[in-house]
Amino acid sequence: MYFSLSCWQPARLASSLARLITLFAFLTPAFAQLQGRVGPTTSTAAKRTVKVCSVLDHGATASKSSDIGPALVAAFAACKSGGIVYVPPGEYGMSTWVSLSGGQGWALQLDGIIYRTGTAGGNMIYIEKGKDVEIFSSTSQGAIQGNGFEYHKDNNNGCRILRLAHMQDFSIHDIALVDSPLFHLFLDTTTNGEVYNVIIRGGNKGGLDGIDVSGTNMWLHDIEVSNRDECVTIKDPSQYMLIENIYCNWSGGCAMGSLGGSAINIHDIRFDKVYSANCNQMFMIKSNGGGGTVRDCSFSNFLGRHNAYTLDIDANWSQLKKQAGDGVLFHDLNFTGWHGSCSDGNRRAPINIMCPDAKPCYNIHLSDFAVWTETGSKEVYKCSNAYGNGGCLKAGGLDGKALAAYAVTTVTVASAPAGWNAPTMAADLTTLGLSSSIPIPAVPTTFFPGATPYSQLAGGAAASAAAAKDSRK
């Protein structure tokens, strides 16, 4: 069953049942990559009946000048075997980073706002080696403000906001992660996880990744990211992931990589319904040497405008130091339903597929690709060592055997392709800050043109009132 048990709260029961029925009745390729259920195995309500551990009962004070860190650790120790670690509405400073390891059957209900005040590196909140965990805001107003501008104005970096490692059966939803000094959310070797109804807003600077994820059987959906680096990016190793309803709103864009290992193992990944505006790329796979395989992945229904690159597979990515090995092998990759515009399609090819000389790509399929340039009256497609169909790909090589390397071939497109013009989103940003405080945005209710989010916000009026009442027990 491809759903998260974290959604079983009374205020959301009707929509969750409808969602479940839809998934069983209309199981489509959009869900083919998942290998089973995702999310916590125990409902929030069940956790609440065990115990509620408020940080206010463990020494916290709702003040930006306070330090919530020790109280979080103490509340976790009291509830790590079952219960709710509760951060009530209010503003809290955080100068001591926390590591929460080994819990099972617990949740972090973040209804307040945590402000970074400490200066250490590492991770503000590090959660590891646990299972059946939920991190959420019952009001959809919980947030962590990293105040990264205090570093970035001097061109420095600091800590990550949130890192999960070796976690199983978990969810993160209905929260905002804002202005991280470094990465915002890092999911490191995680299993059966769901991330949704999340907004990330970072600074206009490289190295401030939105979401980096590696692991197995992950569903990331209904997410908005603004920054100048990764939007949602797959790291090695990863398999059986579904990434959909993603809004890259002034960002580096979605990606795989960089892939620098000698035994890369990424397969059965699906990206679907990704909207990118004012990004570096709509999607990029980046490597330089190394080894291993990326295979059996699909990338469908990408819409975008004013992006520098569009579809970019770069096996000679210059920003990654050349790795030992003759390259990563890419095969059986499908790209379909790409529409929109790019900044300058003659300068940066909207189809740019550069594969390793020693390991030509094969079974690469492009269809329904209609992206037009915003500058000039022509664009080019560029391919090298790449076999398949569509765009500039060389025909043949279906079995991947005895494929010859070939130099860059170019296809010139002199008129706008039919159906290229894509809808826009009302919330598209026209600028992004760096050296001043970034306001905490509301979690949105739409993430892709015309698409309804899979889960309603937790913070409806009735849900918020019920959660507040329950948390006072």
| Tokens 């035994």 -> residue | 263
Average pLDDT over residues 405-420: 97
pLDDT given for residue 32 in this prediction: 52
CB atoms within 10 A of CB 27: 11
pLDDT given for residue 256 in this prediction: 98
Whether residue 274 contacts residue 448, with contact meaning beta carbons closer than 8 Å, is answered with yes
Taking the chain, what is the end-to-end CA distance rounded to the nearest angstrom?
33
* Fold entry, domain 31-242+438-473: Pectate Lyase C-like (2.160.20)
Does residue 261 carry a pLDDT above 60? yes
pLDDT given for residue 401 in this prediction: 84
CB atoms within 10 A of CB 295: 18
Average pLDDT over residues 146-166: 97
pLDDT given for residue 397 in this prediction: 84
- pLDDT category, 399, cuts 50, 70, 90? confident
- pLDDT category, 468, cuts 50, 70, 90? very low
pLDDT digits (tens, 9 = 90+) for 37-90: 999 999 999 999 999 999 999 999 999 999 999 999 999 999 999 999 999 999
Of 134-138, 183-187, 318-322, least confident by mean pLDDT is: 318-322
pLDDT given for residue 27 in this prediction: 36
Residue range 251-428, CATH number: 2.160.20.10
**Among candidate residues 305, 218, 294, the one with its CA nearest the CA of residue 256:** 294
Global model pTM greater than 0.85: yes
Average pLDDT over residues 374-378: 98
Q: What percent of the chain has pLDDT over 70?
A: 90
Output the average pLDDT for the chain. Answer: 91
pLDDT given for residue 466 in this prediction: 44
Classify residue 257 as left (phi > 0), alpha (psi -120 to 50) or beta: left
Does residue 1 carry a pLDDT above 50? no
pLDDT given for residue 402 in this prediction: 83
**Among candidate residues 179, 209, 323, 175, the one with its CA nearest the CA of residue 259:** 323
Please name the residues in contact with 69: beta carbons below 8 A apart, sequence gap of 6 or more: 94, 95, 96, 97, 98, 118
- pLDDT category, 162, cuts 50, 70, 90? very high
Does residue 290 carry a pLDDT above 70? yes
CA 250 – CA 232 distance, rounded (Å): 13
CB atoms within 10 A of CB 23: 15
Of 21-35, 68-82, 194-208, 376-390, least confident by mean pLDDT is: 21-35
- pLDDT category, 20, cuts 50, 70, 90? very low
pLDDT digits (tens, 9 = 90+) for 169-228: 999 999 999 999 999 999 999 999 999 999 999 999 999 999 999 999 999 999 999 999
Domain with CATH 2.160.20.10 in the chain: 31-242+438-473, 251-428
Looking at the DSSP assignment, which residues form a beta bridge with residue 311? Answer: 283, 351
**What one-character DSSP code corresponds to residue 154?**
T
**What one-character DSSP code corresponds to residue 452?**
P
Q: What percent of the chain has pLDDT over 90?
A: 88
DSSP string, 224-258: EEESSSEEEEEEEEEEEEEEEEEEEESSSEEEEEE
**What is the token pair recorded at 13?**
């029961």
Does residue 13 carry a pLDDT above 60? no
**Among candidate residues 425, 388, 439, 386, the one with its CA nearest the CA of residue 408:** 386
**What one-character DSSP code corresponds to residue 80?**
T
Please name the residues in contact with 179: beta carbons below 8 A apart, sequence gap of 6 or more: 145, 146, 147, 148, 149, 201, 202, 203, 437, 438
- pLDDT category, 28, cuts 50, 70, 90? very low
Average pLDDT over residues 303-307: 97
